[in-house]
Amino acid sequence: MSLKLALPAGQMARPTDQLLRQAGLIVRGYTDGSRSYRPRLDGRQDVLLRVFREKDIPIQIALGNYDVGICSLAWLKELLIRFPSEAVVQLRALPLGPSSLYVAAAPDGGLSSLDDLAGVPGLRLVSEYPNLAEVFALSARLPAYRVFPVWGAAEAYPPEDADLAVVAASSEEEVREQGLTPLYRLLVGSPWLIAYHRSIEGKDLSPVLGPLMALEGGRQPEAGLELPSALAGPPRPPLATERPAATVRLALPDGHQQPSAAAILRAAGLSCQGYDERGWVRRPRSSLEGLEVKVIRPHDMPQQVALGNFDLVISGRDCLMEHLLCFPGSPVKEVVDLGGGQFDLSAVVSEDLPASSLTDAVELWRSQGLKTIRVASEFPAIADHYARQNHFWRYQVIPISGASEGFVPEDADLLIEGVQTGRTLAENKLKAIDRFLRSTTCLIASKRQPPPAKAELLSQLIERFRRASSSPPAAGR
């Protein structure tokens, strides 16, 4: 019976790799620049390693899919606050350096200390950690607050689209570098070594736990969640969020859609100082009077249009489809197919599966007596829709936050994933058996009638993008 270890991707990968080496655990293929999420532990064929986004590691441990994992304290608490569970055992803090979560506000947003929150109704909190943001608001007794979960870039939202952001940072200085004022440190602590409780009882975990538990350091008596006392103060008026009625707000994407978005802006004759193929700032300066621009994550854009925070956004058709499948009545629509950033949403399986189509795969699974088809995806609503459209007899959708190629075949039978060249699939021994949706960059707007003051500029911008889309950029995923 193999021991299964979940390792973090992203910024924590390199320090985690160094810590493992310090413990005498040499991992090959983890931080060597490859796109494989299947590293190997030297000398231990009985230890199975997989790389996940940190957010997914506590979930994988709680489900019993993995025996041992390493993740930040913030993502561990984010899970346990909503789903208190004895299944996840916290073994020890690791000497990887502490990180914190801060409640922060914009420097010019009218909030400079925790006491300023007392009595203010309707405060808007934005975070990748919505459960921790919620427990902060409840503990502080904020009146009529709202919490908005986002995929990332929470620091971009105050003060225009949120009053407070709960963000990860190593220090108050790092919060200020993100353009925010820290008001309160909500959590502090080093990453943790965690385990599934039944694995501790029924498996020999000593090949991994022995060396890691023997490491020195990691003791931090002040570490943990630090909830505020209830804030006392007289009722106060809501914070002012007014902006000129004629202002049109445009959201631009960061990440893999940035090059194609920058190219389409150029084709549309729109200059945004601070946003091009090489880089971006959160608030590029537009050359067009009345146009306000901000850079946020594409996944969050359709929701931001639905909430009325933006008039136009450049995002992927996949993000729009995911949003509309979750909220069929949402007042958002695609107004222009911009044509860039092309890739295919695909059904992906292990390359060892003897099937060349979805029909073949389903027939094979039936013949093998598979009771439940496990479908993993960053787009859980699309995955659910796909499973129903294709009449899966019984299925389970597993929402994930990234590093998706590491899930199949051990933790999922099928992956719904965006595929462009297929190189990452090949490196992880996967293959696409059904490319069912071509996703491109598109311009998304609200279905609501715009105020007269901004209707003309909005119409002009849409027309500019429509003309520019006749020769779409070639940049993509």
What are 15-74's pLDDT values in tens digits?
999 999 999 999 999 988 778 899 999 988 899 999 999 999 999 999 999 999 999 999
- Claim: this prediction has a pTM higher than 0.95: no
**Bond preceding residue 409 cis, omega within 30 of 0:** yes
The pLDDT score that the predictor gives to residue 257 is 87
Q: What is 248-341+444-468's CATH topology? A: D-Maltodextrin-Binding Protein; domain 2 (3.40.190)
3-state secondary structure of 407: coil
- Domain 343-439 falls in which CATH fold? D-Maltodextrin-Binding Protein; domain 2 (3.40.190)
Strands in 181-189's sheet, in edge-to-edge order, are 146-149, 124-127, 164-169, 99-105, 181-189, 224-225
Indicate the pairing of strand 164-169 with strand 124-127: parallel
Supply the CATH classification number for the domain 3-97+190-217. Answer: 3.40.190.10
Distance (Å, whole) CA 57 – CA 68: 9
Q: Write phi, then psi, for 385 (nearest 5 degrees).
A: -60, -40
Query: Is 235 in contact with 119 (CB distance < 8 Å)?
Result: yes
Question: What is the spatial distance between Cα 412 and Cα 406, in angstroms, rounded to a whole number?
Answer: 9
CA 333 – CA 261 distance, rounded (Å): 18
What's the confidence (pLDDT) of residue 222? 53
In terms of Cα–Cα distance, which of 280, 336, 342, 315 is closest to 474?
Answer: 342
Rounded Cα distance, 343 and 397, in Å = 22
Query: How far does CA 433 lie from the centroid of its chain?
Result: 26
Q: Are 309 and 329 in contact (CB under 8 A)?
A: no
**Residue type at 33?**
G
**Directed axis angle between helix 258-267 and helix 452-468, to 10°?**
100
CA 101/CA 75 separation, integer angstroms:
10
**What confidence score (pLDDT) does residue 246 get?**
84
Phi, psi torsion values for 144, nearest 5 degrees = 55, 40
Here the tokens at position 86 are 């004895």
Q: Where are the domains of the chain?
A: 3-97+190-217, 99-188, 248-341+444-468, 343-439
What integer pLDDT is reported at residue 476 of this predicted model?
A: 39
Per residue of the chain (477 residues), give pLDDT as tens. 689 999 999 999 999 999 999 999 999 999 887 788 999 999 888 999 999 999 999 999 999 999 999 999 999 999 999 998 789 999 999 999 889 999 999 998 889 999 999 999 999 999 999 999 999 999 999 999 999 999 999 999 999 999 999 999 999 999 999 999 999 999 999 999 999 999 999 999 999 999 999 998 755 545 689 999 999 878 888 887 666 778 999 999 998 889 989 999 999 999 999 999 888 999 999 989 999 999 999 999 999 999 999 999 999 999 999 999 999 999 999 999 998 888 999 999 999 999 999 999 999 999 999 999 999 999 999 999 999 999 999 999 999 998 899 899 999 999 999 998 889 999 999 999 999 999 999 999 999 999 998 999 999 999 999 999 886 444 433
415 in helix, strand or coil? strand
What is the homologous superfamily of the domain 99-188 according to CATH? Periplasmic binding protein-like II (3.40.190.10)
Identical fold for domains 3-97+190-217 and 343-439, yes or no, is yes
Q: What is the pLDDT of residue 34?
A: 77
